[in-house]
Amino acid sequence: MPEPLLQVENLLVRFADPHRPGGELRAVDGVSLTVQPGEILGLVGESGSGKTTLGKTVLRLHEPAGGRILLRGLDLTHLSEAALRPHRRAMQMVFQDPLSSFNPRQTIGTAVATPLKLHRLCTRAELPERVAQILDEVGLPAAFAERYPHQMSGGQLQRAAIGRALALKPELIVADEAVSKLDVSVRAQILNLLRAVQARSNLAMIFITHDLHVARFLCHRIGVMHFGKLLEIGPTEQVFEAPQHDYTRALLGTVHGSVARDVRIPA
């Protein structure tokens, strides 16, 4: 086994419980997992099971109440914001709703160029060419650099969001329900894009989805979340064919039993 890219050890994240004044809920409750370089780990589970909180805490967007987060063996858990900054570039997030992750008054070109400038990844003179290259990598024409977010479809915007994240050459992307709002045909295109990108750049991904079909298509391993706990984790086919836990069986049962859902995804 190579050294894991990411190690999460006994992670605990607490929030105030809105239903019990003074009470707290454990959104993430003692989760341990690893992600290898170039691996896509799926996190599945019902709404409220703690998937998003886990993903965000890995990126230190929430403060954990306990446990550790290690990137390439380096403990990020208690690094100050300043000490964390050089490592932020290595971990990027792609969200469900691409429209809300772009500034409506900024062109797509500016949105993609801004992080490149901030992290000094290319010179001012190289920027237009680099932006065009990034758009091309995610299947968008260079002319789209001039467009504003409202002039693009959901699928095109999600491509741009993926491009913006890739521009920083991250080692890990946390994609949170990144295809959930897209039409079925567009969803398949974006999934294929993610798979191609991951294979091309040996990128690792935590792919959060409530959609088990999508997880099965894309992910090497799958972790099942339930009430903040990681119930089981294993190679995708093993989780689907020989689930270890009653809850996982129930979750899969709702999928096998679901009717008239178009789940065909072209290879």
Ligand X SMILES: Nc1ncnc2c1ncn2[C@@H]1O[C@H](COP(=O)(O)OP(=O)(O)O)[C@@H](O)[C@H]1O
Return residues touching ligand X (CB under 6 A): 15, 25, 27, 45, 47-53
Contact 25, 15 (CB under 8 A): yes
For residue 139, the 8-state DSSP code is T
SS (H, E, C) 197-238: HHHHHCCEEEEECCCHHHHHHHCCEEEEEECCEEEEEEEHHH
CB of 7 or CB of 52, closer to ligand X = 52
CB of 56 or CB of 187, closer to Mg ion = 56
Which residue is nearest to Mg ion, using beta carbons?
52
> Cα separation of 169 and 78, whole Å?
24
> How do strand 6-16 and strand 74-75 relate by DSSP bridges?
unpaired
CB of 25 or CB of 121, closer to ligand X = 25
A 10 A CB-CB count for 241 gives: 9
Instruction: Work out what residue 50 binds among Mg ion, ligand X, none; the CB cut-off runs from 5 to 8 Å by kind.
Output: ligand X
For residue 152, the 8-state DSSP code is S
10 Å CB burial of residue 219 (0-12, 13-18, 19+) is buried
> Cα separation of 219 and 31, whole Å?
19
Instruction: Work out what residue 123 binds among ligand X, Mg ion, none; the CB cut-off runs from 5 to 8 Å by kind.
Output: none
10 Å CB burial of residue 158 (0-12, 13-18, 19+) is buried
CB of 15 or CB of 237, closer to ligand X = 15
Instruction: Work out what residue 75 binds among Mg ion, ligand X, none; the CB cut-off runs from 5 to 8 Å by kind.
Output: none
Query: How many positions of this chain bind Mg ion (CB under 5 A)?
Result: 1
CB of 52 or CB of 92, closer to Mg ion = 52
Shortest gap between Cβ of 55 and Mg ion (angstroms)?
A: 8
Instruction: Work out what residue 90 binds among Mg ion, ligand X, none; the CB cut-off runs from 5 to 8 Å by kind.
Output: none
Shortest gap between Cβ of 182 and ligand X (angstroms)?
A: 18
Instruction: Work out what residue 96 binds among Mg ion, ligand X, none; the CB cut-off runs from 5 to 8 Å by kind.
Output: none
Shortest gap between Cβ of 141 and ligand X (angstroms)?
A: 34
Shortest gap between Cβ of 11 and ligand X (angstroms)?
A: 12
CB of 49 or CB of 158, closer to ligand X = 49
Beta strands in the chain (DSSP E): 6-16, 24-35, 40-44, 66-71, 74-75, 91-94, 172-176, 204-208, 221-226, 229-235
Residues 48-67 that bind Mg ion (CB under 5 A): 52
Chain positions contacting Mg ion, by CB under 5 A: 52
